[in-house]
C-alpha cells in the first residue's frame, strides 16, 4: 500500500450514530475525523469518537480460537460448539441453551444469531445487553403506539422551542446530539428543562433543573397530565380522533397528583419550579421530551415511559416538526437489535409472540418448521437459569455480563458452574475467563454491516483494516456453527449484503402495512449498492425513494383500531427502599470519556486522564456524617456485594444519594464493578433491571 485511503463508516459507541471518516496511512496507522456528510453529526466527533484510531492496537485481542484456554483450529472449535449445543438440545430440549448478545453487534450479526436461536434451535432464549439499556422504552412504545416506534428525528431537537431532558445526561452520554441542542439553544432560544436527581453536566447548562427525588418521575408527569387538563391544554380533537383510554388515565393521574403542591412534596421539588415546568409545557406547542437510562433503568421504567407518552398524546404532539417523545439509546446498534427481534420477548422484524400468526409467518419465510412460539428468558432471568442449571449451554457474544449485569457476583458464579460456556469477543474480558470455548470476533474497522441509531437512521459500518490472526466476523461464526448443527441451507450466507437483503425481505414479508418497520425497498440492493449505501431512515417500503423521517404525525397508529392508547399509571414506591442498614441511594451511569467496561476506551491515556480511577460521588453532608474526606478510599456495601472506590465530594448529589460510574471492571481496578452492587430486580413489563436506586452504605476504609 503506497497511498493513504479513507473509508466512510460509523462510530461504534453511543446511539447518536455519528459518521466517521477513517484514514489509513501508508504505514498502517489510522486517523479519524467526523464525516461532514453524515446527517447525525455533520463532521463533529466527541472525545470518545475522535480517539477511535487509538483503540485499534492488538493489545488484549483474542486472535485465535481457544478450547479450555489452549489455542485451537477454527474447525475444532466450531465443531465442538455445534456438538455441545446439539447434544444439550437433544438431551434437555431447546430451552436448555441460550445466547446473550449485544448492542455492539451489527444488524447482520444480530439477524443471524436471532434466526438460529428462534428459527432453528426453536427457543427464544436470546437476549441482549440492550435489555439493560432501553427495554422499558420498547415496552412503553408498544403499550402506547402498538409498535416500538421512535416517532421523531434529531432535527426535532433543533426545531423545538422546549426540550425536556428526563433522566438523560445528554452532555456526556450523547455529546454530539447535545451540541446540536446547545446550538439551537444559542441561536433559537430553545428552552431546556433537565429532570434528573443529579446535577449533571447537562443540568449545569439549562433553563430549569428539576432535581427531583429519585424514582418520582411518574408523579411528576401524572401531575403534568392533570395540569394540562386543568388549564385547557389538552388537544380534545386529537384525543377524540386518535386515542383511547384518556378519561381513565386522567382520572388516575388526578388522583395520584391532584395539585402542584402534592407533586412538589412527593418529588421533593420547589412548587414554583414545578409550576414553571408545567406552564412551559402547556404553552409550548413545539416540545420534545427526551428520555434515556434514568427513565428506563428502573423497576418502574415502563410506567415512567408511558407517563411521558401520555402527556404527548394528550397534546397531540407526536411526530410533527419540533415535537414528540424521543427515546435516545445508549448503544450504537440497540435499535438494529430491536429491528431483527434480538430481545427474548420479540420474534423478528417487529413481529412478536403476542400475534399468534407471527411464528407461522416467520417460520414460512425462514423455512423453519420448529420456530419458537413463546417468549424466552430475559437477561436477568436468563442468568438466573444459568445459575440454577436450567440453562446448560450459553453463548455470550460481544458483551461482558460478568461485571455489567446486576448482582454480578452471582452471574460470575453462574458462569463458573455452567456446563458449557462459549464467548465470542474482540478482546479478553472478565467474562472470557469463564469460556470453555473462546472465539475471536472482528473488531470495529474490521467488520462490515449496518447499524441503526436512535432516530431510525441506518448507516453502514465498513471494514478498512485486515482481520488479524484467525479473527472472523460474528455473522460468519454463528453461520458456521448453524451449518454444523445441520442447518446448512438456511445459513448459507455469502456475506453481510446477502444477510441484509434477507432481513429487509423479511420485514416486508406478508406485511399489509400493519407494521411500520418495513425496509422491503432495500431487499433488492446489489452488493455494490449495499457497499455504497448512504444513511437512510426506516421505514423504506417497496417503492419508496427515500426513508420516512417522522412517523405517527398523521394520527394513525399500528394498533388494531388505529388509535394510540393512553396507559393509566400511578406513582409506586421504590422497589428497593433504603433502610437503617443501607441508608443511601446509589445511582450508576456513564462518564463522558469512557465506554461500557472500558475494553477500548481504557487503552487511551487521554480518555483515562479525567477519571483515572473509580470514584463514588457523595454529598458533603453524607460524607461528613461518615468522616469521609474527598479522596478517601471508601467501601460501598449493598445487600448484593461490595465495591471499593475513592470518594469524590461535590455538589452533584442530593443528600442521601451517591453516584458510581458503571465502567470499571477487574481489568482496570479490582472490586470496583458497579454491577456487583445492583439488585436483580426488574420492571414487570420490560424486564429491565433497577440500576438507579440501589440501597447502599458507604464507609471510610481504615488506612492500612
Ligand atoms: Fe461516537 Fe456517540 Fe461520540 Fe458520536 S456522540 S462520536 S456516536 S460516542
Q: Give the pLDDT of residue 668.
A: 60
Q: Give the pLDDT of residue 1.
A: 41
Q: Name the DSSP class of 399.
A: -
Determine whether the shortest distance from the Cβ of 49 to ligand 1 is under 6 A: yes
Give the side-chain half-sphere CA count within 13 A for 296. Answer: 25
Summary count for the chain: helices (H), strands (E):
24, 28
Q: Are 604 and 503 contained in the same domain?
A: no
208 grid coordinates? 430549569
Determine whether the shortest distance from the Cβ of 197 to ligand 1 is under 6 A: no
Report DSSP letters for 596-642, one per residue: TT-TTGGG-HHHHSS--S-EEEEEHHHHHHTT--TT-EEEEE-SS-E
Q: Are 370 and 291 contained in the same domain?
A: no
How many angstroms separate the alpha carbon of residue 356 from the centre of ligand 1? 39
Q: Burial code of 517-530, b = ≥16 C-beta within 10 A, e = fewer?
A: bbbbbbbebeeeeb
501 grid coordinates? 437483503
Determine whether the shortest distance from the Cβ of 13 to ligand 1 is under 6 A: yes
Of the candidates 624, 615, 666, 667, which has an alpha carbon nearest to the alpha carbon of residue 644?
615
Residue 631, judged by CB atoms within 10 A of its CB (0-12, 13-18, 19+), counts as exposed
511 grid coordinates? 406485511
Q: Give the pLDDT of residue 666.
A: 66
Cα distance between residue 422 and residue 419, in whole Å: 10
Q: Are 600 and 529 contained in the same domain?
A: no
How many angstroms separate the alpha carbon of residue 332 from the centre of ligand 1? 9
Pick the last residue of a domain from 472, 502, 537. 537
How many angstroms separate the alpha carbon of residue 18 from the centre of ligand 1? 6
Q: What total number of domains does the chain contain? A: 4
Q: Are 343 and 461 contained in the same domain?
A: yes
Residues of the chain with pLDDT under 50: 1-2
Q: Is residue 125 part of a domain?
A: yes
341 grid coordinates? 427481534
Question: Which runs of E-coded beta strand occur in 441-589?
Answer: 449-452, 457-461, 536-537, 564-565, 584-589
Cβ contacts of 642 within 8 Å, gap of 6 or more? 635, 636, 671, 676, 677
CATH of the domain at 23: 3.30.200.210
Q: Are 187 and 261 contained in the same domain?
A: yes
Q: Give the pLDDT of residue 673.
A: 77
Determine whether the shortest distance from the Cβ of 18 to ligand 1 is under 6 A: yes
pLDDT in tens, 180-211: 999 999 999 999 999 999 999 999 989 999 99
Q: Are 125 and 207 contained in the same domain?
A: no
N- to C-terminal Cα distance for the chain? 57
Q: With a threshold of 0.80, does the pTM exceed it? A: yes
State which ligand 1 atom lies nearest to the alpha carbon of 11: 1
Domain holding 95, by residue range, is 66-133+333-447+457-537
Q: Are 187 and 267 contained in the same domain?
A: yes
Q: Is residue 591 part of a domain?
A: yes
Phi/psi of residue 393, each to 5°? Answer: -140, 125
Contact between 421 and 396 (Cβ < 8 Å): yes
Give the side-chain half-sphere CA count within 13 A for 359. Answer: 17
Cα distance between residue 130 and residue 689, in whole Å: 11
Upstream peptide bond of 539 is cis (omega within 30 degrees of 0) = yes
Q: Are 314 and 341 contained in the same domain?
A: no
CATH of the domain at 341: 3.40.50.740
Q: Name the DSSP class of 323.
A: B
Residue nearest to atom 4 of ligand 1 (CA): 18
Q: Are 482 and 398 contained in the same domain?
A: yes
Q: Give the pLDDT of residue 72.
A: 98
Q: Choose the residue to mutate in 9, 12, 15, 16 for probing ligand 1, maximizing ligand atoms within 8 Å of C-beta.
A: 16
pLDDT in tens, 457-515: 999 999 999 999 999 999 999 999 999 999 999 999 999 999 999 999 999 999 988 89
351 grid coordinates? 413481529
Amino acid at each position: 500500500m503506497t497511498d493513504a485511503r479513507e473509508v466512510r463508516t460509523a462510530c461504534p459507541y453511543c446511539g447518536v450514530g455519528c459518521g466517521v471518516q477513517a484514514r489509513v496511512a501508508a504505514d498502517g496507522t489510522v486517523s479519524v475525523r467526523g464525516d461532514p456528510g453524515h446527517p447525525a453529526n455533520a463532521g463533529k466527533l466527541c472525545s470518545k469518537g475522535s480517539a477511535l484510531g487509538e483503540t485499534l492496537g492488538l493489545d488484549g485481542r483474542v486472535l485465535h480460537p481457544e478450547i479450555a484456554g489452549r489455542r485451537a483450529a477454527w474447525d475444532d472449535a466450531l465443531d465442538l460448539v455445534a456438538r455441545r449445543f446439539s447434544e444439550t438440545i437433544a438431551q434437555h430440549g431447546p430451552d436448555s441453551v441460550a445466547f446473550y448478545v449485544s448492542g455492539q453487534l451489527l444488524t447482520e450479526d444480530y439477524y443471524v444469531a436471532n434466526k438460529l436461536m428462534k428459527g432453528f434451535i426453536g427457543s427464544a432464549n436470546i437476549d441482549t445487553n440492550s435489555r439493560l439499556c432501553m427495554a422499558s422504552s420498547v415496552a412503553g412504545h408498544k403499550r402506547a403506539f402498538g409498535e416500538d416506534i421512535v416517532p421523531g428525528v434529531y432535527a426535532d431537537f433543533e426545531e423545538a422551542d422546549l426540550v425536556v431532558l428526563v433522566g438523560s445526561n445528554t452532555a456526556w452520554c450523547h455529546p454530539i446530539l447535545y451540541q446540536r441542542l446547545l446550538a439551537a439553544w444559542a441561536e433559537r432560544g430553545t428552552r431546556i428543562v433537565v429532570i434528573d436527581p443529579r446535577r449533571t453536566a447537562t443540568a449545569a447548562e439549562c433553563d430549569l433543573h428539576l432535581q427531583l427525588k429519585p424514582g418520582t418521575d411518574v408523579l411528576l408527569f401524572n401531575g403534568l397530565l392533570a395540569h394540562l387538563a386543568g388549564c385547557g391544554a389538552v388537544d380534545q380533537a386529537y384525543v377524540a380522533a386518535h386515542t383511547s383510554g384518556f378519561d381513565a388515565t386522567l382520572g388516575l393521574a388526578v388522583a395520584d397528583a391532584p395539585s402542584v403542591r402534592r407533586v412538589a412534596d412527593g418529588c421533593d421539588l420547589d412548587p414554583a419550579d414545578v409550576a414553571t415546568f408545567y406552564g412551559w409545557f402547556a404553552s409550548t406547542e413545539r416540545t420534545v421530551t427526551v428520555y434515556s437510562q434514568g427513565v428506563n433503568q428502573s423497576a418502574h421504567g415502563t410506567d415512567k415511559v408511558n407517563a411521558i407518552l401520555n402527556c404527548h398524546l394528550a397534546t397531540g404532539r407526536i411526530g410533527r416538526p419540533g415535537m414528540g417523545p424521543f427515546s435516545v439509546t445508549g448503544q450504537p446498534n440497540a435499535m438494529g437489535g430491536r429491528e431483527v427481534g434480538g430481545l427474548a420477548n420479540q420474534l423478528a422484524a417487529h413481529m412478536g409472540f403476542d400475534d399468534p400468526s407471527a411464528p407461522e409467518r416467520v417460520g414460512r419465510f425462514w423455512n423453519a418448521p420448529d420456530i419458537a412460539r413463546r417468549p424466552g428468558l430475559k437477561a436477568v432471568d436468563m442468568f438466573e437459569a444459568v445459575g440454577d442449571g436450567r440453562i446448560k449451554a450459553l453463548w455470550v457474544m460481544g458483551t461482558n455480563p460478568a461485571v455489567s449485569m446486576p448482582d454480578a457476583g452471582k452471574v460470575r458464579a453462574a458462569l463458573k458452574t455452567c456446563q458449557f460456556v462459549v464467548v465470542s469477543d474482540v478482546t479478553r474480558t472478565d467474562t472470557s475467563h469463564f469460556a470453555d470455548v473462546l472465539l475471536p470476533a472482528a473488531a470495529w474497522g474490521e467488520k462490515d454491516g449496518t447499524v441503526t441509531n436512535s432516530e431510525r437512521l441506518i448507516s453502514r459500518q465498513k471494514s478498512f483494516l485486515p482481520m488479524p490472526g484467525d479473527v472472523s466476523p460474528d455473522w460468519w461464526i454463528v453461520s458456521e456453527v448453524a451449518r454444523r448443527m445441520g442447518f446448512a441451507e438456511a445459513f448459507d450466507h455469502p456475506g453481510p449484503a446477502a444477510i441484509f437483503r434477507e432481513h429487509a425481505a423479511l420485514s416486508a414479508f406478508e406485511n399489509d402495512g400493519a407494521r411500520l418497520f418495513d425496509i422491503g425497498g432495500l431487499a433488492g440492493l446489489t452488493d455494490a449498492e449495499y457497499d455504497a449505501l448512504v444513511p437512510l431512515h426506516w421505514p423504506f417500503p417497496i417503492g419508496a425513494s427515500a426513508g420516512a423521517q417522522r412517523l405517527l404525525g398523521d394520527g394513525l397508529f399500528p394498533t388494531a383500531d388505529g388509535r394510540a392508547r393512553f396507559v393509566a399509571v400511578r406513582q409506586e414506591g421504590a422497589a428497593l427502599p433504603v433502610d437503617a442498614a443501607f441508608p443511601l441511594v446509589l445511582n450508576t451511569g456513564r462518564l463522558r470519556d469512557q465506554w461500557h467496561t472500558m475494553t477500548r476506551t481504557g487503552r487511551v491515556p487521554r480518555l483515562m486522564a479525567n477519571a483515572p480511577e473509580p470514584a463514588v460521588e457523595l454529598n458533603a453532608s453524607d460524607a461528613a456524617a461518615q468522616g469521609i474526606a474527598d479522596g478517601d478510599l471508601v467501601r460501598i456495601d449493598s445487600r448484593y456485594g461490595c465495591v471499593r472506590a475513592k470518594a469524590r465530594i461535590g455538589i452533584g448529589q442530593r443528600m442521601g444519594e451517591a453516584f458510581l460510574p458503571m465502567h470499571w471492571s477487574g481489568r482496570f481496578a479490582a472490586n470496583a464493578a458497579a454491577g456487583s452492587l445492583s439488585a436483580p430486580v426488574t420492571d414487570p413489563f420490560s424486564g429491565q433491571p433497577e440500576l438507579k436506586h440501589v440501597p447502599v452504605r458507604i464507609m471510610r476504609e481504615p488506612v492500612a
